[in-house]
A and B are shown apart, each in its own frame.
Chain A
């Protein structure tokens, strides 16, 4: 699934366009970076309210499939620049982490 299709299916805003194929094998919800580092795994979608540049480093180190920023938090420009550079899709939504997680579950990601 392409990032555009993924965004449409989940009603998410894609913060920059990339042709990357989304391969989502799991989901982790969390805002404390050390806990995300220990728990999230390769090809997981990460749902968070954190928006500063270091979320991209975490996603890159863990080979996460994407970052989904919830609760309409504003994502810093430098975060987006870094995400573009490393080709890590970042999505945004005004919905809650729980709501996005439920939608991912309905998509078949368990």
Chain B
């Protein structure tokens, strides 16, 4: 954290909880909107945080979503505990998904989650191992 840092919003995301999926992203969006952040940036962050949140719900056994607000940027960090991603390059390919059929029937698992997150970010970092996955996304203001 630098002196540029303003505020952190943190949320626990529960695995397989499709009822509450999206709540953290809604809260992040609401906070940024009320702070007067540019609508186009709020939309990008809403898309990124929603995809991150849904990935935790579908693919992990639980995790956290953080939104760090700085004077000049917003950083979304998603950390989860779970099996991790076997092949990150494949996971970054549009249309590639390992989501189960039961989840696809609900409209999830289009294989667009990680590609969307990267597309709407200014900087995208992903690390994954056998214990979980961490994604750090930066959007400059």
- A61 lies within 8 A of B19 (CB): no
Which residues of B pack against A, CB within 8 Å? 18-19, 21-23, 25-26, 29, 39, 43, 46-47, 50-51, 54, 106-108, 110-113, 116, 119-120
Q: Are B110 and A61 in contact (CB under 8 A)?
A: no
Q: Is the interface of A mostly helix, strand, loop or mixed?
A: helix
Interface of B is mostly: helix
A62 CB–B CB distance under 8 Å: yes
Do B22 and A54 touch (CB < 8 A)?
Answer: yes
CB distance A60 to B22 under 8 Å?
yes
Fill in one digit per residue for A23-45: 1 if any B CB lies within 8 Å of its CB, else 0: 00000000111111110001000
Selected from A36, A50, A56, A78, the residue in CB contact (under 8 A) with B106 is A50
Rounded to whole angstroms, the CA-CA distance of A88 and B29 in the bound complex is 16
Task: Select one of A34, A38, A48, A57 contacting B22, CB under 8 A.
Answer: A57
**A84→B43 CA distance, assembly (Å):** 23
* Nearest CB on A from B94, distance (A): 10
Contact A53 B47 (CB under 8 A): no
List, sorted by A's number, 18 A–B pairs whose CB atoms are closer than 8 Å.
A31-B107, A33-B108, A34-B51, A34-B110, A34-B111, A35-B110, A38-B47, A48-B107, A50-B106, A54-B106, A54-B108, A57-B21, A58-B50, A60-B26, A61-B22, A61-B26, A61-B29, A61-B47
- A53-92 contacts to B, CB under 8 A, are 53-58, 60-62, 78
In this complex, which of A48, A55, A57, A58 has the most chain B Cβ atoms within 10 angstroms of its Cβ?
A57
**In chain A, what residue has the closest Cβ to B120?**
A38
